[in-house]
Chains A and B, each alone.
Chain A
Amino acid sequence: MLVTPPGAALLMFFVLPLIAMLLFSFREGTFSPEREMFTLRHVVHFLEGRDVQRLLWESALTSAVISTIAVTLAYPLAYYLAFGARERRNILLLLVLLPAMTSYLLRVMAWKIILGSEGLLNTFLIWTGVTAEGFTGLLHNRNAVIVTLVYVWVPFAALPIFASLMRIDTRLFEGAADLGARPWETFGLITLPLSLPGIAGAFLFVFVPTLGEWVTPMLVGGTEGVMFGNIIQDTFTRGLNWPLGSVMSLAMISLTVVLLGVPVVVYRSFRKVRTRVA
């Protein structure tokens, strides 16, 4: 009885729409009558489109790059919060999360200004004398998308890492020190492996949403930084080709499931091997 309201709401407005989108992939046209229900035209169209498929792969690659950088930058952050902060931990955590909890759109807009030809970065570079006229190539490309999304996601990436670091029993550090381990050895052999679930979680936490990113590419990506999400968004809003858009969305979901499923399967079989060896 507690479950019904949220369950029903989520079912109606989350699960069902996804199913609806699945069904829509087979529809003839966006507004055509119901009898023209089943067709594989759009599926075929998508499968034949080499460029669009390549874009999907490239977007996945871009997301992977973003996730890796974000996690790498976030790890020391989380480490300090978990082990360096003590009493001030909560406030510092808040400090890191606060910018992330404001409007996403505004954060991206800010980077559009920073990277612009008269923006903050160029002004700074000119002022320090590094360059006379500034770079025009900072904005409107894939790198701008990567930089901006890394900025957006670093605070969020820090959270799962922080959580898993907090779960480590600090007595292990004492034990390691007693046994003669140096700080780097302790980190590499104890901390890092034990925080691996957090790292994996953080990576996925950034990867999956960034795969479908379209706002950032649209604002700072220009033509070179277009991602798959842009195509989907455009197909739905301007192209009005909902069946095709649905097919594309499903393609992205399938890719995500496959990319996520592989590590899970590997992990499970790895664990089986380990327990058998032990």
Chain B
Amino acid sequence: MYFWLIAVLLYVPLLLLMVLSVNDSITLGFPLKGFTLRWYQAALDNPIMLDALRNSLLLAVVSAFVATILGSLAAMAIVRFRFPGRTFLAAVTGAPLVIPFVIVGAALLVALRWAGFELSLWTVGVGQVVLCIPLAAIIVGSGVVGFDQALEEASMDLGATYAQTQLLVTLPILAPVLIASFITCVVSAFNEFAISVFLVGIEPVLPVYLYSQLRNTTSGPLIMAVASAVILTSFALVLVAWALQGGTRRGGRATPGSAKPASTKELDATLS
């Protein structure tokens, strides 16, 4: 069926990368020559590669952490409260995802350098955070929407302060969504390329490093090896994040009004 055709086609390019990463040939083409793991070994032996990898990992974790916090705060505010500027905040929170990355990157470059900052891992981090805030807000937001505020009310009725309620009731319940947001942001920030190119300094970042190696005709399979590793890890992490979000997502339709009633009794109940 059409769906499966497209679904499979979506994976083919990625499988190609993985196949070429174990191909015993320095050229990235067909026919395939033989199975080897030496490219993975070569990647591990490459100090700059390891450096870039380390930087990217560190940066991704920190950026994801900051972005999740900021995104969650924004999501809570937007979903729960009415206040002047709410639409504006919602728009600005979601905007980085919709605006062409080249503009976000260029604008940050101009602004940060004008303010006197040198390009470094910090500047790359800023770019990653800006890009991940919308992601975090959307993911955590979906959890906040499904959150039953009666639980908070009950907690405060029983004597807890607002702060205690947030810490001991809301946070644990939202924990899966928060972690899902964190993981998704890590993957997103780690793989971020378009903005990093504008903001990267002397310290290498993995996507930018991989890109620079594309010019190098001998490092093709090595890039494939790293690429495959990144892809597989991204897959695994996204699956984990998805599983964590499962609790807050319903398998069926979102809005009660459009749900197909299971029986006429249910239909009567919703109508009355």
Contact = CB atoms under 8 A, between A and B. Distances in A.
A binds B: yes
Interface of A: 2-3, 5-7, 9-11, 13-18, 20-21, 24, 73, 76-77, 80-81, 84, 87, 89-90, 92, 94-107, 109-111, 113-114, 116, 118-120, 123, 151, 154-155, 166-171, 204-205, 208-215, 219, 229, 232-233, 236-237, 242, 245-246, 249, 252-253, 256
Interface in B97-146: 98-104, 106-112, 114, 126, 129-130, 133, 137
Contacts of B10: 96, 99-100, 151, 154-155
A99 B11 contact: yes
Which 5 residue pairs of A and B lie closest in terms of their CB atoms, listed nearest first? A212-B100, A118-B29, A110-B13, A17-B111, A103-B191
A109 B83 CA distance: 45
Interface string B9-39: 0110110110010000001111100000000
Contacts of A16: 111
Contact of A249 (B102, B112, B227): B102
Nearest to A119: B29
B194 interface: yes
A209 B101 contact: yes
B250 to A, nearest CB: 9
Given A5-B73, A119-B29, A229 B102 contact: yes
Nearest to A87: B251
The secondary-structure label for the interface of chain B is helix
Contacts of B251: 87, 89-90
20 contacts: A2-B73, A3-B74, A10-B93, A10-B133, A14-B130, A17-B107, A20-B111, A21-B103, A87-B251, A101-B188, A102-B191, A103-B207, A103-B231, A105-B193, A105-B207, A110-B16, A116-B28, A171-B260, A232-B106, A233-B197
Given A14-B96, A118-B28, A119-B30, 17 more contacts: A7-B89, A10-B133, A18-B103, A76-B2, A84-B3, A95-B7, A103-B191, A103-B227, A105-B191, A109-B223, A113-B28, A123-B30, A167-B253, A169-B258, A204-B98, A209-B98, A249-B103
A189 to B, nearest CB: 18
B180 interface: no
Given A10-B130, A24-B114, A94 B242 contact: yes
A158 to B, nearest CB: 9
Contacts of A232: 102-103, 106
A169 B235 contact: no
Contacts of A20: 107, 110-111, 114
A98 B240 CA distance: 12
Contacts of A111: 13
